[in-house]
Amino acid sequence: MEIRIQVSQHFLGPQAQRDGFILLGAFLISFLFIRTSARLMRSPKVPWWPGSVTTDSGLHLHHLVWGIVLLLVSGFLGFAVARDSPWSEILAALFGVGAGLTLDEFALWIHLDDVYWSQQGRASIDAVIVAAVLGGLIVLGLGPFDTSGSSPGISLIVAVLIDVLVCVVAILKGRLLLGLIGVFIPPVALVAALRLAAPGSWWARKRYREGARKLERSTARFERARARHGRIIDAIGGRPSPSETPAPIETERAG
């Protein structure tokens, strides 16, 4: 009980933690807004919703452009000027908005094509979820390989190395999010490392023989997991359009 009271008293007390909380909130709000806006533009039921920004020459400016500009400006000012309140909070909010606009089109970074509404575009939602979870853990005061209260020594180094190894195994088994969370909360990575690997993961390709019982169990389990994951991603980002062929990034309307 005493620990809980202490945490509640100091939560968001330090300026850095407060800035991180504002940044994370602005990131989530801007992502939800721009994703909702894109879905409304896509829907024939709301033709009154404003469309994308297109120049007179027909060049479509994706919202990641505005996000990159905000990231550059707010990031530069955060380093170049004094970050006293309220400017510190304002710059954190601007950086969060820029991150939300940019990560919403994360799939365009890696495909260099307008895959916003295609199956590949789901990578953007996954990237946002990973960023939000890791950002939330940091804001809550958890650090990577949290060793607060531990004195440096061989035992500490061994503990960190074991944690890294377990996280790597979890990631190789196709459990990226759980492996990254394990950097902050080691038991999460340990559970992921002990469970079956995803059928398409590096671990499964190297260690599960074709027709083996483990591969059959993994395939059946992850088919159900993918179905649940797909429903969640559809609810957040909208259903993809498999029939759409990605067009050049300069001309296609992505939202």
pLDDT per residue over 11-38, tens digit each?
A: 666 788 889 999 999 999 999 999 999 8
Whether 138 maps to a domain, the answer reads: no
Whether 136 maps to a domain, the answer reads: no
Whether 75 maps to a domain, the answer reads: yes
Whether 246 maps to a domain, the answer reads: yes
Q: Which two tokens stand for residue 126?
A: 């996954």
The tens digit of pLDDT for each residue in 46-103 reads 778 877 766 667 677 788 999 999 999 999 998 888 777 788 999 999 999 999 999 9
- Secondary structure class of 221 (helix, strand, coil): helix
Whether 99 maps to a domain, the answer reads: yes
Burial letters 217-250, b for 16+ CB under 10 A, else e: ebeeebeeeeeeeeeebeeebbebeeeeebeebe
165 pLDDT higher than 50: yes
Q: Are residues 1 and 107 in the same domain?
A: yes
Give me the domain span that covers residue 169: 145-238
**Residue from 239, 175, 250 nearest 38 by CA:** 239
Whether 245 maps to a domain, the answer reads: yes
Q: Are residues 247 and 170 in the same domain?
A: no
pLDDT of residue 6: 41
pLDDT of residue 242: 61
Q: Are residues 2 and 112 in the same domain?
A: yes
Whether 54 maps to a domain, the answer reads: yes
Q: Are residues 106 and 202 in the same domain?
A: no
Q: Are residues 99 and 170 in the same domain?
A: no
Average pLDDT (133-160) is 77
In angstroms, rounded to a whole number, what is the distance separating the alpha carbons of residues 189 and 135? 17
The tens digit of pLDDT for each residue in 231-251 reads 888 888 888 876 544 444 443
85 and 15 Cβ atoms separated by less than 8 Å: yes
Q: Are residues 211 and 251 in the same domain?
A: no
pLDDT of residue 145: 65
pLDDT of residue 255: 43
pLDDT of residue 135: 92
Q: Which two tokens stand for residue 122?
A: 């789901």
pLDDT of residue 77: 92
Whether 135 maps to a domain, the answer reads: no
Q: Are residues 181 and 166 in the same domain?
A: yes
Q: Are residues 3 and 72 in the same domain?
A: yes
Of 69-83, 147-161, 202-216, 238-252, where does mean pLDDT reach its minimum?
A: 238-252
Average pLDDT (123-151) is 82
Q: Which residues pair with 141 in a beta bridge?
A: none
Number of structural domains (the chain) is 2
Q: Are residues 229 and 251 in the same domain?
A: no
Q: Are residues 233 and 244 in the same domain?
A: no
Q: Which two tokens stand for residue 105?
A: 């089109």
Q: Are residues 33 and 89 in the same domain?
A: yes
Q: Are residues 17 and 61 in the same domain?
A: yes
